[in-house]
Structure 1
């Protein structure tokens, strides 16, 4: 009790209230835009991230000064990175949630500014985060609606084989050997359940361009492997 009374500082307490209030308002503004668009991390999540970051930074400043605050900011960045990773989901070749994770990162930056009593900077950062999620959206939509220029677009190619589950080990090994022999090395392989008894094997190729006729011949060879029900390939633009 005595320690609590000794640490009570009305001036410092007022500064903390201002910092946390700023973090709350800025985080809520960012989260409101996300909530309206029904994103995974909405109003409460972004507000909590901003306030949490502000609390940690403000606490570090109170306990050990600005030098410790810079260390805490580094830990906040890495900690929010783990939180953002939970918002990223992979479904086959598609990845979603990257923008949500980036927004959480922005909310943490806003909170860190507020916790360091840089209220103006926190407000400016908030405007930029909201602008990135709103003003750039029409630009992104317009670009996405444009037809892809095959000469300039970088594509990733995938080879698929659907086989009996009991044969997936042999099919996978022979599939990789055939692609390697055709000078199409595989960057990654995933397997997915395909019905109650079958498996889909997905191989992502390193190559950014292929000879369609040559790859068709490889597909024909894969289909001849015992246990394979169907084989095919397709291409998608690389968003990395």
Structure 2
């Protein structure tokens, strides 16, 4: 049998060690994801790590280091497509980016163990777990910090709800009022409202905004004939 002729006990034990290490390290990473009830949890991270280790180990044994590097490059690409499957968009929010990145890192752990770099695999696992746990409260604290709109990269929009019959005239008045206050308009979009109303949204050119000044502009706009409601909002840019 060809298996008996090619079987090498030492190489087999090396593969057992590599795949077992990938299993354990992938389980450690996946346990944290499973605890937080993420889409890709314990089993997914284990399979990604073991799969990456198996492909890398196989390429190393059959072809050598050069072929192993080619396999690792394809593992990176393949796991990228797998990670895209856990990313979900809900309205303006995107979920799953961190889980997808964790899967990508699990593949890196598996590739290290498959290439007999166990110490590096353990180090990457430690960094992943620290990043997903200890950095979590820091990220939450940053998210809760008040936004300084004058020093942050923020986009501003002025929104009006107007009578549809006065839409064209109010569009011009909206631009005039904002530019008179030294807030240049990049674009104005209109859309249907409810009943006989429409919406006007003026997107300001990136600039430093003084909230009180913009409040005053909105108050003047709200007093115009045909304007039902006026407000402004800021959103952080990516």
SS in 2 for 1:95: strand
Contact 1:87-1:100 within 8 A present in 2 as well: yes
Contact 2:18-2:118 within 8 A present in 1 as well: yes
Partner Cα separation in structure 1 for residue 68 and residue 231 of structure 2: 55
Partner Cα separation in structure 2 for residue 45 and residue 206 of structure 1: 45
Q: Residue 78 of structure 1 corresponds to which residue in structure 2? A: 77
1:123 correspondence with 2:90: no
Q: Residue 169 of structure 1 corresponds to which residue in structure 2? A: none
Q: Residue 168 of structure 1 corresponds to which residue in structure 2? A: none
Deviation digits for residues 179-217 of structure 1 (CA, Å, limit 9, x no counterpart): xxx96446xx9x9xx99xxxx999988746669479969
1:134 correspondence with 2:133: yes
Q: Rg: which structure is higher?
A: 2
Q: Which contiguous aligned blocks of 4+ residues in structure 1 show a shift greater than 4 angstroms? A: 157-162, 182-186, 200-206, 208-217, 229-233
Q: Residue 147 of structure 1 corresponds to which residue in structure 2? A: 146
Count of aligned pairs between the two proteins: 216
Structure 1 pair 201–112 and aligned structure 2 pair: CA distance change class (3 A): farther
Of 93-102 and 27-36, deviating more is 93-102
Deviation digits for residues 126-161 of structure 1 (CA, Å, limit 9, x no counterpart): 000000001111111222221111222212346779
Deviation digits for residues 55-84 of structure 1 (CA, Å, limit 9, x no counterpart): 111111011001111111111111111111
Q: Residue 37 of structure 1 corresponds to which residue in structure 2? A: 36
Alpha-carbon offset, residue 92 of structure 1: 2.5
Structure 1 pair 110–231 and aligned structure 2 pair: CA distance change class (3 A): farther
Q: TM-score, normalised by structure 2?
A: 0.72
Q: Residue 63 of structure 2 corresponds to which residue in structure 1? A: 64
Q: Residue 103 of structure 1 corresponds to which residue in structure 2? A: 102
SS in 2 for 1:38: coil
